[in-house]
Every structure is written in C-alpha cells, then in structure tokens.
Amino acid sequence: MKVFHAPSVQQMVLGQIGKASMEPSGQALMSSIYLVTTVSLTEEECQTTLQETRAELIGKFRMAAEDALSVAGFVTTSDIVVLRAFVLYLAALRSLGETSFVWSMTGLAIRVAGSMGLARDGSMLGLPPFECEMRRRLWWAIVYLDARTAELVGQDGDLLMQNYDVKLPSNVNDSELFPSMQRLPEHRAAATDAVYVLLRATVAYCLRTLPRESGPNGTWSRMRAPNVPVAEKLGILEATERKFEDEILRYCDPTVPLQRICINSACTFLVKMRLVSGLPYSSGSAQERLENGYSEDVFQLSFRIMQLQLELWTEPGMQKWRWHWQGQFQWYAFAELLRQTRLRKCDELTTKAWTMIHNVFQIIVPTLEVGSKSPLLNGLKTLLNAASSSCRVASESRLNGEVRSSERSLDETRPPSAQSAAPPVFGHGYGSAPHDALLPGVSNARGHLQEGSAAAVDPALVLDYGAIDWDEFDRLTNELCGQKN
C-alpha cells in the first residue's frame, strides 16, 4: 500500500539518527509501518528475525501504533502524515480479519480526509506536483479500503456514492518523484513500482462507475439485479476489461511476482464481475440454470476464481505480499463452487473441483480469520469428513493390490437429490489439518468401506454417500452463498 513516498520516509528515518525523540506524526507513521511489516511476516520469520511469536509481536506493535496515533490526535488531525499512518493501521487490521472495526474506522478516515480537502485534486488547488501525487495515492487508497470493506459487510461504500475530481495516481517510479519537482514525469508505458497502486486505484474507479440500485444492497447491487439487461452488463464488463488491458495488463510480465499479482487481481475482478452479474462464462446471453439450480457457467466462473485464489496462497514469489489480500478471500465464489460441484455430475473436472475445495480448506481457510463463517465451514467440513469413512480400508486395499475401480455410476450409488462427484478425503495423511482455533471440532475419523460407495479416479477419494446429510449440505452452502464476500 503505497500511501507515502519511500525515499522521503527513508530520509525522515535517517534524520532521526542521534535524536532523542521524534515528532508525534513521524512516530505514528513509523509505528504503523512496524505493524504492517509484522503482519506481513510469517510465524517462522517472526521467530527467526525477532525471536517472538507473530501474535506477541502483532499485539505489541498494534498497541504502539494505537498509542502513537492517539498522541498524534488522529481523530481531529490536519496532518496528512498522521492520516497516512491511520490508513496503514486500518489496512493491517483488515488483513487480520477485523472487518467490522475497520469498516467503522474507515468512516472516520474519510471524514478526516474530507476535512483536509483530499476529495479535490491538488492541481485544482494550486498545490505542487509532488504533493498532488501523494494526495492522490492516499485518497485512492482510502477509496479502495472503503469500497472493499463495504463489500465485505454488504454495504455501499461511502466514497463510491460521492462526487470528487481526484485523478488516478501516476504510473511512475518513486525514484522519479521528489518534493521540489516542477512537474510530474510523463505517464510511463511500462510497469513501474507503482503498478499495484494504480491497479487498486483503477479497481476502485471501476467500482465507483458501476451503476447501482438505491439502498444498502452492496457494491455490486445493480450488476446483480436480474432486471438489468444483459447487454448493459456486458457493456460495462467489456469497458472495464479494456481499461485494465490498456492501462495496466499490457505492461505486466507474469515472471515478475508483483506484476503477476496485478494480473491475478485484475483477472479475479473481471471473472467476479461475470459471476455476480449473471453473465456467461464464455458466450451466450445469460447464465443458464437447470431445475435443480445447477449452472455450468456459475461452476466454471467460481472454479476459475478459486484457481486464482490458490495461486495467490501457494506461489512462493508472491507470499511477501500476502497481507494485501489476506482479508479479501472470495467467499461468494467459494460458496458457489461448493454448491455447484455438489450438483454437478461426475467427470474429471468435477473431481478436480472437489480436490480444489479440499485445497482451499487445507491451505487457505486455516490462514483466515473466518469470524461468523466458522460455524458454516465447520458444518460443511464435518459433513465431508463423515463421507470419508471408507478411506482407510480403501488405502489399505490399494497397498495390497486389491483395489478394483468401481464401474457403477454415481446415479446408481446414491439418491437423485445427492447427485455429485466424490469430494476428496479431509483426514490425516491427506494434507495438513486446519488450525483448531479456526475450524474447531472437525472430525478426522475413518471407518469401513461399504458396498455401494464409489471412487472417483483415486481410492483416496472414496466416500460413503449415506453419511452425508445432503439437505444440511445444501442449507449450509446456501447460507454461505448469502454471505456474499
């Protein structure tokens, strides 16, 4: 989150060497930077570098940041440095899953920014070019924070509904900016170190330009509305795709981690637009659903979003930026993938989808503060574990060379209301177990193979379908889908 000019902050830090104290604004900024840095570290990095647990360090630096912000008078401040510190502090807490608190405090940040005149572009106020650019970065960071947090709590972002004339940040490197400059450099036709800043500002800009229904129905309200013509939705999507491609994606190199994150984030945003808007995966006039609620378009779109999410959580080169998206997991797409995979007939792609769901539970969910979603996830995971009662016997049979592939179709092995492919086993020996604090009480028990169970591709995926309460599965996924993000 580039809300400040790195070389200027470096000079500020160097200027403090040998001094006994620091200005309250500088103290607030440095404390927030320490907090964000700690949030971005893994448990192992905290232990190795600072010889304390991550939780202990976050607690200490959070308290230090809050004390420093209080001393700096962040509630009534007119100092832009203090506001930067406050926005960094909120970004760190959002990464930790404190959505409700961040949502409330973002309102305060918006009011403080408004009091400073950040809703007007600095060029309209006769401010120097460098100051104009720093104001734009901070303003659009607040707009993005407001929009994304509003989406997570199912509200309309305050700043998405307001009129302001602030230009998007420039696509330039920090090294090209300095306080005494007379004019900004030309917009570079390349990916600079501000490319991620520009991407997030562009996402916020696109969200702001989406037409919307009145009322607290969320950021995507009009795009979700079934009465809006598909042609209108497609027009909005295509315009957004062109803006991303022309201004950002065309310059990004997927072999450069930060630029790959930009590609991933842009693709996620565009696929999500299709998903929530009821647009088809590739062609056609609208998403089509069968009588049982299954939609191949919804399945394909949610599958693609989860692919992109898993890439963020598993690509080694991207992990030092994980704190940026830690609090932005795409819950709606995950819930839809659960629901659609359960309704889909068995084939190779369906089996891949169940494996992907398993990977999300094993890799992503344990890293999240799941909050109110914990009971829903706990229930779903328990249901899927209940279906894995035959895993041990199947695995032993495979080792003994006694496993024979089942030739019976899924439709013959369970009731029509439960037609889907076999989800993978959620138990010992098949990936790491989730943290108990996040998904408590999840059973890893295994029982015996029952005649009539079917294996999809691998005996490790054997399930006892009779152990799954499919009505409860549907209820839980429907409720999770209702928690849109």
Residue 478 has pLDDT above 80, yes or no: no
pLDDT of residue 306: 96
Tens digit of each residue's pLDDT (9 = 90 or more) over 96-140: 888 889 999 999 999 999 999 999 999 999 999 999 999 999 999
442 contacts: CB under 8 Å, gap ≥ 6: 378, 381, 382, 385, 426, 433, 434
Q: What is the pTM of this model?
A: 0.75
Tokens for 445, please give them: 């028990």
Residue 31 has pLDDT above 90, yes or no: yes
Tens digit of each residue's pLDDT (9 = 90 or more) over 420-454: 444 333 332 222 233 333 233 333 322 332 332 22
Tokens 């570098």 sit on residue: 49
Tens digit of each residue's pLDDT (9 = 90 or more) over 233-260: 888 888 889 999 998 999 999 999 999 9
Residue 334 has pLDDT above 60, yes or no: yes
Residue 401 has pLDDT above 50, yes or no: yes
Q: When comparing pLDDT for 453 and 332, which is higher?
A: 332
Q: When comparing pLDDT for 281 and 355, which is higher?
A: 355
Distance CA 457, CA 149 (A): 41
In 3D space, the residue among 137, 163, 153, 122 whose CA is nearest the CA of residue 83 turns out to be: 137
